[in-house]
Structure 1
Amino acid sequence: VSDFSLCSTMAEGAGTIEMAALGRPFQLGMLYDCRNDALIPGVTLWDSDLLKKDHHKTSQRNSDFSIIASDSTENKSSALNVEASLKASFLCGLVTVEGSAKYLNDKTTSKKQARVTLQYRTTTTYEQLTMSHLGHKNVTHPEVFEQGTATHVVTAILYGAQAFFVFDCMVSADENKRDVQSLMQAMINKIPKIDIGAKGSCHLSNEEKLKAKNFSCKFHGDFALPRNPTTLEDAIKLYTNLPELIGESAEHSVPIRVWLYPLNLLDSKAAKLLRSINIDLVCRSQAVLEQLDDFDRKCNDLIKHKIANQFPKIQEKIKQFRDMCQRYKLLFQSKLAQLLPLIRGKGEQESLLADLLNRKEKSPFSKQLLKGWLKEKKKEIKIVQHFWSQLKGTKVVSLSTERDRVLNDLTVVNVICFMFTSLQQLESYLVDLENYLKLQSDEAPDPTSELHDYSQETTKQQFNSDTSQQMRSCTKLFLELAEANKTEEKTKFIIASTEDESNPGASLYLYKNGILVEKQFQLPPKPSSPLIDRKAHNSVTLKLQPLTCDPGETVKHRVEFRKVSEEVWMQVDREDKNEFLTVPALYPNTHYQFRYTVCVHGVNVTSALIESQTLPTSPPGQPLI
């Protein structure tokens, strides 16, 4: 990387501040307020004719490139040479960036997003005011000192241009993000090594060409383009043309860095910067905002999860959480934006900023609590996914309209629903987050006002060992019922969710003719296996054990049988309460399986099966010698 340091001049002397331009329209002699990092347009110390006449210009031709594999604010700020105080102003929204500096605002939206950035930077000209300007007697408009609207004047500008090519690639479930990023970095590292006269050609392996199809490209630069690149191929062609786009005489270059001279060194009555912001506090503020951005990315991924799509209430809660984090971020930035000018211009103690950061960790929006809620939500999704996967593709009816369509189907008599009962439960922590935001919004916008401490230390677990055990039992029962009733066309099995605090975790709901008849359906005790009473060559008589049922329950009994070699079950209904039932019309000397099935509320419960062989049609003959 080339050295962009410049020779020492009066414009860069004692008390002078050097900073990144960040796409802002700086001009020599322009006034600047370092208290809120704002340009003061339309007001100068000197007439424009004098400014044009007495300034010095030197050539500073240089260019370099770098590869950025991190998407952190720290790395982006470093790439643009943004120092701590200016970074603080950017973080809280006091500074609006343009041109290549918009790269600072380009953040990944998913944890599955691999990103590598190529930076191109060139400098062209260095301009500075001459010594004759820097004296009180030469000031044309001395009233500026008394107005107090500015703290510094622009005395030097380094011109040039920058460009950032941001490449993104979504990582699939069977890929490793680090491996994908390494491949991207190796490919993108080839771009600056292309011969300018090679018409944008770049040798890529077949694997690289295939992978490049999945790359997207965004461009942030100080160059006027007819269209922005969107692919790796577009980026290669543009990169080789960048030196031409700045113009033969660098007429299209823009301010890259500026030097600001304190006004109070020209006149003691001028406003001045009383205090700079402690770097540690800037880093802590940056960490808060990056944490909130990271939560945003994690929420975006969870919202797209197939379980969140199947159960809208999960998705709704994650969106609510994400939106409240975004609202808190704006609130934090607003308070930060009010504090910085107070500390810089009025000499307020930095402890005000430290207090704001400390109170954040005592609020519902503390890092520990936000992280804990997301951890619990991921756990909830994994638990639901685990049990859903065991329910063997049973249809999920997430909306009440879908459920009504199944329940109102005239061809269906019984519906057994595996009901997740805790997904829609009101979460007090989300309520606390909302109430906290409302309280802060209702308060006067005083950054030094007291923020109320939050007493809750941990977020409540929606799923614990008891609820997991209940869900396990319901899953086992549901599968048994589904297996026993798979041939029953009038019995349907579905999955849904509702709020039911009396049955936390999950429960089986039984609907009969569209009406809910049981919120905690329990499988009747399995009937005992039938006993063989007697056998003939064409029939078997079974003895059936009585089944205990609640009074008023509609109970039907039948015996099901099949040849051992066959899959399909035949049946004989038990018409009365006789404990003996004969299965007729069997084949002689054949092995059969038998089981006893009881139908309660339209749901079949089946015994373990037994085997028996019918008798032959005649006694065996005499053995032959």
Structure 2
Amino acid sequence: MATEDNTIETIALGRPFGLGMLYDCRNDKLIPAMSLWNPEVLENQCVTRKQPFTNYTVRTEKSLHDKAHLLNMGGSLKLSVLGGLIGVSGSAKYVNDRKETKHEERVTLKYSTTVHYKQLTMGHLATEKMIHTDILDQDVATHVVTGIVYGADAFFVFNRALSKNEENTTVSGKLEVLLNKLPKIDISAGVELNMNNDDKQLAESLTCTFYGDFNLEQNPSTFEEAVKLYKMLPSVVGVNGENTVAKTVYLYPLRLLNRPNMKMIRQISQNLIDNCVSLINDLYQLKMQASDIINDGCPTVHQNKEHLKIFINYINQFENDVKKEMMELLPKIRGNGADEIQLRDFLNQVESSPFNRQKLSDWIKLKEREITMESNFIQHCIADPRVDSSLNALDKALSDSQCVHIICLSIHLTNKNDFYLQDLSRYLDDKTFNRREETTQSSWLDEEDVLAEIREKIAIFFDSVQGNVDNRKIKFVITDKHIDKQKNLEGIFLNFYEKGRKKNVEIPSKPGQPIATEIKDDCILLTWKKPQNGNINVRQYKIIYSKENDEKSKSELIAANDSESLLIQNLTPNTTYIFTVQVLTTIGLVIDGDMSDPITIKPPEQNKTKSNKFKQNGIICAGENGYGGQSNQLYRPQGIFIDHHNNILIADSSNNRIVERKCHSNEERVIAGGNGPGKGDDQLFHPTDVLVDKKNNCFIISDLMNRRVIRCFRENEAEPQILISDIDCFGLSIDKNGFIYVSDRAKNEVRRWKKGDERGTIVAGRHRKGTDLNQLNGPGLIFVDEEDSLYVSDTFNHRVMKWTKNAKEGIVVAGGNGEGNSLKQLSSPWGVIVDDLGQIYVADHGNHRVMRWCEGNAEGEVVIGGKGRGKALNQLNHPSGLSFDTEENLYVADYGNDRILKYEQYSH
């Protein structure tokens, strides 16, 4: 900074300044062994005064700007240091101390003291007293040192490694609090540091790096050593400040010494300085990010890590080029030999080059995504000690004469020549190079088919490892190689080697989870699906089963390779069993399948289920005035819910409202919507379902066309809350824990939402639209029973699916035999509900009836309707929602007739 008399104030940075020394501000260079005055003159014109000051500062360093601020470096000086014009020493070496990983947090404690100030009285050093005036004509300097503040600085840099679950801001906050206590910590001789247990624990986790202007026998490396040194620093300075060094320096312009023809030093604009510092800082941050990705990722991911190492090398080269350019430009600009526009042009050239900050960041983010995804895919595989994923894993296995079979997961996802790295290399060789046509770098991450194939192949590999634990003649290896399009090696491959020779064999995947399609009092019909891959190499199936929690009762049966079911007999009634299906292959491998859900064998008398019977003529309890939007009218009602007071809540879809009908009364009110379609607080747009959350005294609505699920509290119904947004919500249900289930017709899945969830958990579907047991097609209304089993109206598959808790696929409990009107079929089932006996009621929308099914039965029975489409009280017109009241009467939303019907039970 400059003062009123044009004197410049700067900091010494450990350089050996002395009064009367010459200095060149163009390149921030001290001119040694040259002076305008004799030493005797300088000594006689020197004034010394005391300037005592001591301070400490605690800072969390986030960037080079923060570091420069802590060192009191002005803008121009920052560029000289970063550009390599200045060599620092002593405490100023702190400027080169950098974080090496984001997995550490560091906080710096700066101790600073000044002792005295020495100054030349320039009024007495007039030109007539100059002896070496010829120096002024040599243009080797711009200023003379006329004042120096002497003192000493010390930087204690405390590092703390972060665990995966720790956040930088939380740890840095704790460190700052601790370091602010450091000057006050009592440290008596031979006594431990006087701190509480939390502070001690934090202090013990720290390492310390020290930079100072003090001659020490040993630098501190721990918190305790740092405290002891901190307490000693005042004495190390010396009684009279004899151990101090130059800290602040005052420079007087030579042009004011009767040399008016000397040019003034031009200061570079602050904006340009900040941009230069930010560029260097960004390059360092990118190198640190790349290094972290290399160290954090799975060690198997060799190819992308090699790309990152090349990337770091190119950044280092480019950083050196940037500093070299700055070293050339800065002195010229300051000395008026060049305009600062040249520095601006250089920065603009960088921004338009492949080293553009955004391009660098985008590329490294893509590599991080690829490495993270590949690591996540295979981490459970390499966790098994039998899997070798080292660089030469396959060669080692092939050279093992004791090894008969090798299963190799061969990964070819990375191109050997990365287009962007090639651009960086070309630019380093030729600064004028700039790709004219932007090419978006493609990635396997954006290919759904590739991702699906990776999951499939890794699953087969992992199942092979798990099923052959005791087979020491098989080795399992993972290799990561470049893409080789000439050899058609792009993607992921599962290779099989026998006695060192690669065989063209497709390894079978695991069979489907076994389910019981028929249960009797002493036997079950166990059914499974054949492996989706490698079915030709299935030799036979082994069925292993035992009583739940009783491994000693294990039994085994064999089934032929073309089997998909087996009758298992001689089971104990009223006992729960667990079943597993293994694949025995023709190539000597065993592939374990998933365990079944617990299956309970019931005694004959428990297999007879009581059935409720209902009167066939319904009672109109809502919509008695037919179609419309007025009182006691409905327009295409869908989901309904009977609360614990037997009040009826109705999703009056085409009226865009929720209607509540009081029990045993004609009293009816609109409790949500009813003001036309829209997104306002008092509007809905085609709601399809509603339920009551008794625990929280609120009701929840599936607002389909607004793609949201909202909640209205009873005490403030006019101000709804959005629980879930951006979802094609249709059906709702709630379990005993208060978790909400929502069916999504667009994604063909059902998700469970806990309090605070942002995305929910998929509990049914998840495999796109389809007819498999792990797929849905247009899920409609849903129901969750007391055991957290989920029932889904799989509308366009014409079936009802049951998904037990944590199941990977569902089972068909109603329909599933194509669209039709037989007792084995359904037509676009809409609503579903389960009674206390476990019987499943289905609103058979297209057949205008309500069916009842018992799980495991091949056929259902008609309990309501089934007499053709019509308006009579014993007829229905496309029934939708179903619900029971507390007396077990059944309510049906008669969608096509715009009414709600109540069907009373016959008295027993």
The answer to whether the superposition gives a TM-score over 0.5 is: yes
User: Structure 1 residue 257: deviation in Å?
Assistant: 0.6
> Matches of 1:358 and 1:392 in 2, distance apart?
46
In structure 2, relative to structure 1, the CA distance for the partners of 1:228 and 1:390 (3 Å cut) is: closer
Greater CA drift, 194-203 or 164-173: 194-203
> Matches of 2:48 and 2:569 in 1, distance apart?
113
> Matches of 2:277 and 2:428 in 1, distance apart?
21
Match of 2:339? 349
Q: Which amino acid aligns with 2:443?
A: Q
Q: Which amino acid aligns with 2:453?
A: Q
In structure 2, relative to structure 1, the CA distance for the partners of 1:273 and 1:567 (3 Å cut) is: farther
Match of 1:476? 459
User: Structure 1 residue 328: deviation in Å?
Assistant: 1.1
> Matches of 1:223 and 1:286 in 2, distance apart?
29
> Matches of 1:380 and 1:183 in 2, distance apart?
34
Aligned counterpart in structure 2 of residue 313 of structure 1, from 294, 303, 309? 303
Aligned counterpart in structure 1 of residue 149 of structure 2, from 138, 153, 158? 158
Greater CA drift, 216-225 or 485-494: 485-494
Q: Which amino acid aligns with 1:362?
A: S
Where do residues 275-314 of structure 1 align in structure 2 (5 Å cutoff)? Answer: 275-307=266-298, 309-314=299-304
In structure 1, runs of 5+ residues without a counterpart are 6-10, 441-449, 530-545, 612-625
In structure 2, relative to structure 1, the CA distance for the partners of 1:604 and 1:262 (3 Å cut) is: same
Match of 1:461? 443
Aligned counterpart in structure 2 of residue 505 of structure 1, from 491, 494, 498? 491
Q: Which amino acid aligns with 1:278?
A: S
Q: Which amino acid aligns with 1:310?
A: T
> Matches of 1:432 and 1:215 in 2, distance apart?
42
Q: Which amino acid aligns with 2:284?
A: D
Where do residues 248-397 of structure 1 align in structure 2 (5 Å cutoff)? Answer: 248-268=239-259, 271-307=262-298, 309-391=299-381, 393-394=383-384, 395-397=386-388
Greater CA drift, 602-611 or 99-108: 602-611
> Matches of 1:227 and 1:459 in 2, distance apart?
52
Matched, 1:131 2:117: no
In structure 2, relative to structure 1, the CA distance for the partners of 1:144 and 1:485 (3 Å cut) is: same
Match of 2:660? none
> Matches of 1:49 and 1:359 in 2, distance apart?
53
Q: Which amino acid aligns with 1:409?
A: D
User: Structure 1 residue 71: deviation in Å?
Assistant: 4.0
In structure 2, relative to structure 1, the CA distance for the partners of 1:406 and 1:239 (3 Å cut) is: same
Q: Identity over aligned residues, as a percent?
A: 32
Matched, 1:24 2:36: no
Q: Which amino acid aligns with 1:471?
A: I
> Matches of 1:45 and 1:341 in 2, distance apart?
23
Question: Over residues 564-601 of structure 1, what are the superposed CA-to-partner deviations in whole Å (9 max), with x where a residue is unaligned?
Answer: 66546476999xxxx99xx9xxx996799997967345
Where do residues 68-467 of structure 1 align in structure 2 (5 Å cutoff)? Answer: 68-194=59-185, 202-268=193-259, 271-307=262-298, 309-391=299-381, 393-394=383-384, 395-399=386-390, 401-423=392-414, 425-440=416-431, 452=434, 455-456=437-438, 458-466=440-448, 467=450
In structure 2, relative to structure 1, the CA distance for the partners of 1:30 and 1:483 (3 Å cut) is: closer
Greater CA drift, 81-90 or 202-211: 202-211
In structure 2, relative to structure 1, the CA distance for the partners of 1:384 and 1:554 (3 Å cut) is: closer
Task: Select the structure that is richer in strand.
Answer: 2
Aligned residues: 563
In structure 2, runs of 5+ residues without a counterpart are 515-529, 548-552, 600-908
Q: Which amino acid aligns with 1:337?
A: M
User: Structure 1 residue 525: deviation in Å?
Assistant: 11
Q: Which amino acid aligns with 2:131?
A: T
CA contact (8 A) 2:414 2:481 kept: yes
Q: Which amino acid aligns with 1:225?
A: L
User: Structure 1 residue 122: deviation in Å?
Assistant: 1.0
User: Structure 1 residue 558: deviation in Å?
Assistant: 4.6
> Matches of 2:21 and 2:557 in 1, distance apart?
96
CA contact (8 A) 1:559 1:594 kept: no
- Per the alignment, in what secondary structure is the counterpart of residue 422 of structure 1? strand
CA contact (8 A) 1:160 1:256 kept: yes
CA contact (8 A) 1:145 1:270 kept: no
> Matches of 1:71 and 1:559 in 2, distance apart?
61
- Per the alignment, in what secondary structure is the counterpart of residue 337 of structure 1? helix
Higher RCO (CA < 8 A, seq sep 6+)? 1
> Matches of 2:372 and 2:441 in 1, distance apart?
18
User: Structure 1 residue 158: deviation in Å?
Assistant: 1.0
Match of 2:804? none
In structure 2, relative to structure 1, the CA distance for the partners of 1:158 and 1:609 (3 Å cut) is: closer
CA contact (8 A) 1:217 1:230 kept: yes
CA contact (8 A) 2:332 2:338 kept: yes
> Matches of 2:307 and 2:256 in 1, distance apart?
57
Question: Over residues 393-415 of structure 1, what are the superposed CA-to-partner deviations in whole Å (9 max), with x where a residue is unaligned?
Answer: 45543445331222343443332
CA contact (8 A) 1:296 1:322 kept: yes
In structure 2, relative to structure 1, the CA distance for the partners of 1:480 and 1:451 (3 Å cut) is: closer
In structure 2, relative to structure 1, the CA distance for the partners of 1:252 and 1:453 (3 Å cut) is: farther
- Per the alignment, in what secondary structure is the counterpart of residue 361 of structure 2? helix
In structure 2, relative to structure 1, the CA distance for the partners of 1:262 and 1:405 (3 Å cut) is: same
**TM-score, length-normalised on structure 2?**
0.57
Q: Which amino acid aligns with 1:464?
A: D
Greater CA drift, 359-368 or 189-198: 189-198
Question: Over residues 347-382 of structure 1, what are the superposed CA-to-partner deviations in whole Å (9 max), with x where a residue is unaligned?
Answer: 411111111111111112111111112211221122
Aligned counterpart in structure 1 of residue 479 of structure 2, from 489, 496, 505? 496
In structure 2, relative to structure 1, the CA distance for the partners of 1:326 and 1:604 (3 Å cut) is: same
Q: Which amino acid aligns with 1:75?
A: D
CA contact (8 A) 2:37 2:130 kept: yes
- Per the alignment, in what secondary structure is the counterpart of residue 32 of structure 2? strand
CA contact (8 A) 2:301 2:371 kept: no
> Matches of 1:607 and 1:453 in 2, distance apart?
52
Question: Over residues 49-95 of structure 1, what are the superposed CA-to-partner deviations in whole Å (9 max), with x where a residue is unaligned?
Answer: 11111111111111111111224222222222211111111111101
User: Structure 1 residue 495: deviation in Å?
Assistant: 2.2
- Per the alignment, in what secondary structure is the counterpart of residue 347 of structure 2? helix
Q: Which amino acid aligns with 1:116?
A: V
Question: Over residues 145-185 of structure 1, what are the superposed CA-to-partner deviations in whole Å (9 max), with x where a residue is unaligned?
Answer: 11001011111111111111111111111323222212211
Q: Which amino acid aligns with 2:143?
A: H
In structure 2, relative to structure 1, the CA distance for the partners of 1:453 and 1:388 (3 Å cut) is: closer
- Per the alignment, in what secondary structure is the counterpart of residue 498 of structure 1? strand
Q: CA RMSD in A?
A: 3.8
CA contact (8 A) 1:310 1:396 kept: no
> Matches of 1:105 and 1:336 in 2, distance apart?
18
**TM-score, length-normalised on structure 1?**
0.80
Question: Over residues 112-141 of structure 1, what are the superposed CA-to-partner deviations in whole Å (9 max), with x where a residue is unaligned?
Answer: 111111111111111111134442222111
- Per the alignment, in what secondary structure is the counterpart of residue 384 of structure 1? helix
